Structure 1
């Protein structure tokens, strides 16, 4: 049995994918998001304006994030990083978003994630944006990137909203 084939998108393929995705998102935007290029000469770095989803602690907020595409996109996931301060169980202090869909498509039995939950080339920026909205609605406290925010969110949820510390920290960032 030979060496497994490694797929690597050519620069033209990668640019075509990014161009197509940007065009699709501009033609049919995802509610609550606006996407622009950081620099017109760099198709692989996008700025995302995220409007806090209704009926969440983030409602009324305006958050900036950046999506960066790797050299082998769409075979590897882009990265998503908030540029504005975000207090959330699944967002690192650096702003990096930690969700399964953004994890490389490897079989990692230690992660607790199924391979089907990880990135695959059929995913796209639209599915990432929908995952971010889902995350803002309902954090995953089983796999926190920010342990303090996760503990505080659990305390808030267990108190059925009586403990306002979690909500107050979020509101102070908005």
Structure 2
């Protein structure tokens, strides 16, 4: 069940029409809430992302996906962010994360954003979403920084 405060900020569309004198139909369009986000980095980058909330939020986590180019060990090549608090609640099937590190309905957009900002400044290369970026982060910091700098420059050009 979605909490009332969350519902108050959503728009629901209801379409009613009569097919005949005896039949009344109601179609409810399912809601989907999407936040467009711009993350400003200390290096001067402006990274666009989308936070999408599932229908059963807050029981399930939103997804966050960068729409700007991103070179980071914890960002999949398609832009999806991989951090513990965005993983479904419960035990980790791989045994890497504690259940307490995963999604809980107490998390807010603010706590998610703080976690993403923290992730950007301190990658977790032990459980990477982008193995190539993690390897470069560990073995070739200069090469890694050059790719990140290219992403920053490209993000500035998109303004």
CA RMSD, Structure 1 to Structure 2 (Å) = 1.9
Q: Secondary structure at the match of 1:164?
A: helix
Q: TM-score, normalization: structure 2? A: 0.77
User: Quick check: 1:102 aligned with 2:95?
Assistant: no
User: Quick check: 1:15 aligned with 2:7?
Assistant: yes
User: Quick check: 1:91 aligned with 2:75?
Assistant: yes
Runs of 4+ in 1 over 3 A off after TM superposition: none
Q: Secondary structure at the match of 2:150?
A: helix
CA distance in 1, matches of 2:134, 2:112: 21
Instruction: Structure 1: give runs of 5+ residues left out of the alignment.
Output: 1-7, 21-41, 157-162
1:71 to 55, 63, 71: 55
Alpha-carbon distance, 1:43 to partner: 6.6
Instruction: Structure 2: give runs of 5+ residues left out of the alignment.
Output: 11-30, 153-159
Aligned equivalent of 2:98: 114
Alpha-carbon distance, 1:164 to partner: 1.2
Q: Secondary structure at the match of 1:145?
A: coil
Say how many residue pairs are matched. Answer: 132
Rg larger in 1 or in 2? 2
Q: TM-score, normalization: structure 1? A: 0.71
CA distance in 2, matches of 1:104, 1:131: 16
